[in-house]
Amino acid sequence: MKFFIAILLTALLGHAAPLYFPWWSFAVTSFIVGLFIHQKAGLAFVSGFFGIFLLFTVHTLVLDYMNDHILAAKVAAILKVGTSSITVILLSAFIGGLVSAFAAMSGSFARGKAK
Amino acid sequence: MRIIPFLLSVAATIGLVYTLNIQLSVNGGKTPKLGYLLSPQKGFWQNAEPTNTSFDEAMISDNLQGNSEVYLDDRLVPHIYATNEHDAYFIQGYLHAKFRLWQMEFQTNAAGGRLSEIMGDSSNGTNFHNIDKFFRRLGMVYGAENTLKAMEQDSGLKAACDAYTDGVNAYINSLDESSYPFEFKLLDYKPEPWTNLRTALLAKYMAWDLAGFEQDFEMTNARSIFTKEQFEALYPYQADSLDPVNPRGTVFPKRGADIIPPTLADSAYLIFKEAATAFTDIKPDYDNGSNNWAIDSSKSKSKRPILCNDPHLNLNLPSIWYEMQISAPGLNVYGASLPGAPCIVIGFNDSCAWGVTNAERDVRDYYEITFKDSTRQEYMFDSTWYTTTFRQEIIKIKGKPDDTLQIPMTVWGPVMYDTSFPDKLHTGKAYAVKWMAHEESDELKTFYQLNKAKNFEDYKSAINTYKCPGQNFAFATKNGDIALRQQGKFPAKWRRQGDFVMPGSDSTFAWRGYVPDSLNFTMHNPARGFVSSANQYPYDTSYPYYLGGKYPLYRGILINRLLTNMHDATVDSMQQMQNNNYNLFAEMARPVLLRFMYDNTLSGDEQKYLDTFKAWNLRNDAASEATTIFNLWWDSLKVIVYGDELGQSQLPLVMPQKSTLLESMIKDSVKLFADDINTTEKETIADDVNAAFKKIIPEVKLMDEEDRLAWGKFKNSGVLHLLKIPSLSRLNLFAGGGEDIINAYKQYNGPSWKMIVELTDDINAYAIYPGGQSGNPGSKYYDAFIDDYIAGRYYKLLFTDKATLQKQTTLKGKITFSKSRQTT
């Protein structure tokens, strides 16, 4: 249960924070979620990762679909990761997820050992 | 708390965020800030414009005076209905910024020598620092400052520029990190406030593009290799087949004393076979040029004039042009505008239409400067030491300390090359540059007035202050006038003045004033029923002043031939003419080539491709294989004929023009350079023609086997993004046309705006350009016109009033502009 709440909160706060603060501000919110929803470090890492990974995947999928894949396909070529928008969607989500995962794990460590 | 794992984990998080928040150096270039770029809320995803997006918006600004509306039609062309002129230009600035901000910034940064601020000192093999130095020392900023002075002296124009700048800034101020245009995110920098100086820099950018081409250093080098006779044969002044803009037969006043060469010219200047030289390696495209023509009522089916114009420029994305209608009390104009400047540059209003082509004349020269010593504090001029002034300009470089330039200023202008900015060949000498674009002048005022012109008198008064780059202004009115005038401020030159670097210590080599305005031709309702220009020489050699510059020949001949025979012309005839792929040069060259061919010596393959060439319909159509064969053959012939002569110098020289070779072949004259000076045999032109043909056959055969021989594939046209990033460009377009063709579409250069205006009561206008209205690569409007452009299609222009436009069902948005919220 905690795990899913952590994912949900990570996603919600991770969406809200960068609307007002820098792009990386979701790292701070993921840290806070890791701090308050106390899980074992590994679980915090995984929930932190998926919270943002899923959020970014859904968000970028919608933007990409509305855009008919025009820009993401061009960015894929610029970043030399093929010509499909899907790779850029996964790359965005993975990078976001990774930052969030480490931040959430830091939050967990800040509390000490969870049961 | 588990201190050590906590610290490690926090360090990993911070390290990760830090790495994703900086630009990394990879393969000589910089990556974007990946975390920012890929952020769904802030990064490029925010530029992924929904394809069904609506551009409805309510814009409120204290800088507005009334309430105005803009309707965006189905192609995203804005139609501005402003309640006053001030607001019209404010709105134009706002819209330019909304759809083209990055392009406006980037082009004016390039013109002002500020690319290293954005790109770093070098990236992917391009030395931006050097490019910046080049433009600074050429005096682009100096010229823009002078232009700004002139712009701001005219109260009407100043008000328009101020309103325009306010409009651009209103848009910039509405932006945040997430809404910056895509390229700002990619290159990691921010838009800065717009200024009137930037508008002036854009004018200099156009001057550079259209009056920046010169070969003074290459010609100086040629003078040291060739005798005078050889030089005149290789680089003749005007061709026999010329059909000048101003028809032959005009009687001009006799040459004045002002164009007699200095007494020292023969011994000190027109010396051949001597002197070392320098070399400039940044040039605008050689083929920047244009077509324009207008026919009068005697030639059109509707009995009204039709005006056509297609300016040939580098074809870029975002496109150089932005299409729009601007209306306000006393103003109702439609056409192509330049993002970064107010007004319409090429277009029409409810009374008349106009279009421009480049006058091509040489208005940029170099003078060798003798400094007293290495401090450059004094230089020799007419046997006296003059004090140098210095212009300080700072080049900011991303990630590095600033570079402060001290540019010496002389009576001629800025010293472009010296030991602190050596020419490429390191002659160690100093050269000042004198350029018409440095002068205080106000080109924008011409367009400002043309936008409101009602008749021929208004046209003349609008263009008579125009100085640089010199242009041929074509004009037509609803009440039947057609006109063409070459307008510009041109130095009065003696023969060959400025073709080579001149001695800077001798005032007799200075420009002796300017060509009188009365000697710039005006054609008004000529008996032949049409006016036209295609960058050819404006006059034949009876014209008393030396023109300098470089002039293409064949487009002008063909246009005049077609127009002479034209009757009952319609918009459709004009579309066909702008898309005409007929190769007049090939028409003249083919019989000459075939005359010299030894038919019986050919192999099977050679015969086959020669037959293809013989059967050619002389059109540069995309599918034509003969066009490719002809172009390869001619290039091969030029190298065989001239390669040995040009090979005498390691320094750069100019390949003679194709008309020079063709005309000497037609006349079989002694001016042919057929013999290879490196062999003992005596080659004839027939030997050269056959050798040139046989040389290309293996390549032709290979391309044929790989299905690459069609002209459209060989030419491989495209429209390049300003940063030359392939995925932001449109490449591998299968298109016809080419050099010397009316449809002048080469690889990346060609008709950048094709416009046809029939001056009927309700103006009947068509146009297209190879781009799209939006500068955002994430918009479906970014390159929306390119496929139609390649297919030779046009769009009917919606030049109409507000009530009619409101009823359009395919509108893409309505933007309201008002001073305060209550009035929306």
B331 DSSP assignment: E
pLDDT value of residue B280: 47
Out of B20, B40, B186, the one facing A56 most closely (by C-beta) is: B40
* Domain assignment present for B676: yes
User: Is B823 a residue whose pLDDT tops 50?
Assistant: no
- B312 DSSP β-pair partners: B289, B751
Q: Which residue has the higher pLDDT, B798 or B3?
A: B798
* Domain assignment present for B593: yes
Cα gap B658→B660, rounded to integer Å: 5
User: Is B25 a residue whose pLDDT tops 90?
Assistant: no
Lowest mean pLDDT: which of B240-254, B362-376, B496-510, B568-582?
B240-254
Active-site residue identified among B61, B123, B290, B659: B290
Q: Are B798 and B791 contacting, i.e. CB atoms less than 8 angstroms apart?
A: no
User: Which chain A residues touch B779 with a CB distance below 8 Å?
Assistant: 70
- The answer to whether the Cβ–Cβ distance between A71 and B47 falls below 8 Å is yes
CA triple A28-A29-A35, angle to 5 deg: 90
pLDDT value of residue B195: 97
Strand B122-123 and strand B78-81: pairing? unpaired
Tens-place pLDDT, residues B366-410: 999 999 998 999 999 999 999 999 999 999 999 899 999 999 999
Shortest CA distance to B359 belongs to which of B232, B113, B545? B545
Give the domain extent around A29: 1-111
User: Is B726 a residue whose pLDDT tops 60?
Assistant: yes
Strand B68-72 and strand B78-81: pairing? antiparallel
B404 DSSP assignment: E
Whether the CA torsion A81, A86, A92, A98 is positive or negative: it is negative
Q: Are B280 and B627 contacting, i.e. CB atoms less than 8 angstroms apart?
A: no
Binding residues of B: 362, 365
Q: How confident is the model at residue B732 (pLDDT cuts 50, 70, 90)?
A: very high
- B393 DSSP β-pair partners: B405
User: Which chain B residues touch A106 with a CB distance below 8 Å?
Assistant: 6, 9-10, 13
pLDDT cut 70: percent of chain B above it: 96
Cα gap A34→B683, rounded to integer Å: 86
Q: How confident is the model at residue B129 (pLDDT cuts 50, 70, 90)?
A: very high
Cα gap B213→B548, rounded to integer Å: 11
Cα gap B375→B389, rounded to integer Å: 12
User: Is B34 a residue whose pLDDT tops 80?
Assistant: yes
Mean pLDDT for the stretch of residues B164-185: 96
Give the domain extent around B651: 584-618+625-709
Mean pLDDT for the stretch of residues B46-52: 96
Instruction: Tell me the shortest Cα–Cα distance from A9 to chain B, in angstroms.
Output: 17
Instruction: Mark B297-316 as b/e (b = at least 16 C-beta within 10 Å).
Output: bebbebebbbbbbbbbbbbb
Question: What ipTM describes this predicted complex?
Answer: 0.96
B227 in contact with A, Cβ within 8 Å: no
pLDDT value of residue B221: 85
Strand B25-26 and strand B29-30: pairing? antiparallel
Q: How confident is the model at residue B67 (pLDDT cuts 50, 70, 90)?
A: very high
Strand B322-328 and strand B331-337: pairing? antiparallel
Q: Which residue has the higher pLDDT, B284 or B509?
A: B509
CA atoms within 13 A on the CB side of B597: 20
Tens-place pLDDT, residues A71-110: 999 999 999 998 899 999 999 999 999 999 999 999 988 8
* Residue B760 CB contacts under 8 Å (≥ 6 apart), including other chains: B302, B304, B478
Q: Are B110 and B184 contacting, i.e. CB atoms less than 8 angstroms apart?
A: no
Helix, strand, coil percent values for chain A (each to nearest 5): 80, 0, 20
Helix, strand, coil percent values for chain B (each to nearest 5): 35, 20, 45
pLDDT value of residue B517: 86
**Is B300 among the catalytic positions?**
no
* Domain assignment present for B215: no
Most confident of B487-491, B535-539, B783-787: B783-787
Mean pLDDT for the stretch of residues B80-89: 96
* Domain assignment present for B643: yes
Q: Are B137 and B407 contacting, i.e. CB atoms less than 8 angstroms apart?
A: yes
Cα gap B562→B588, rounded to integer Å: 16
Strand B68-72 and strand B813-818: pairing? antiparallel
The residue of chain B nearest to residue A57, with distances taken between CA atoms, is B40
Name the CA dihedral angle for B699, B701, B705, B706, rounded to a multiple of 10 degrees: 20
pLDDT value of residue B255: 67
Name the CA dihedral angle for B577, B578, B582, B585, rounded to a multiple of 10 degrees: 120
User: Which chain B residues touch A83 with a CB distance below 8 Å?
Assistant: 727
> The tokens of B373 are what?
């010593």
Out of A23, A31, A70, the one facing B780 most closely (by C-beta) is: A70
pLDDT value of residue B824: 43
User: Is B120 a residue whose pLDDT tops 60?
Assistant: yes
* Domain assignment present for B452: no
**Exposed (0-12), middle (13-18) or buried (19+): which is B399, by Cβ within 10 Å?**
exposed
Instruction: Tell me the shortest Cα–Cα distance from B549 to chain A, in angstroms.
Output: 40
Q: Which residue has the higher pLDDT, B239 or B405?
A: B405
* Residue B427 CB contacts under 8 Å (≥ 6 apart), including other chains: B276, B277, B278
Tens-place pLDDT, residues A21-42: 999 999 999 999 998 988 888 9
Q: What is the crossing angle of helices A41-66 and A85-111, to 10°?
A: 150
* Residue B18 CB contacts under 8 Å (≥ 6 apart), including other chains: none
pLDDT value of residue A2: 85
Residue in A54, A109, A111 to test binding to B, most B beta-carbons within 10 Å: A109
Q: Please, what is the end-to-end C-alpha distance for chain A in angstroms? A: 14
User: Is B656 a residue whose pLDDT tops 60?
Assistant: yes
Out of A27, A60, A106, the one facing B45 most closely (by C-beta) is: A60
Element (H, E) at B161: helix B155-173
What is the amino acid identity at position B315? L
Q: What phi and psi values does residue B801 have, to the nearest 5 degrees?
A: -90, 170
pLDDT value of residue B441: 86
Binding residues of B for Ca(2+): 362, 365
**Exposed (0-12), middle (13-18) or buried (19+): which is B137, by Cβ within 10 Å?**
buried
User: Is B31 a residue whose pLDDT tops 70?
Assistant: yes
Element (H, E) at B326: strand B322-328
pLDDT cut 90: percent of chain B above it: 71
User: Is B278 a residue whose pLDDT tops 80?
Assistant: no
Number of domains observed in the structure of chain B: 1
- The answer to whether the Cβ–Cβ distance between A70 and B50 falls below 8 Å is no
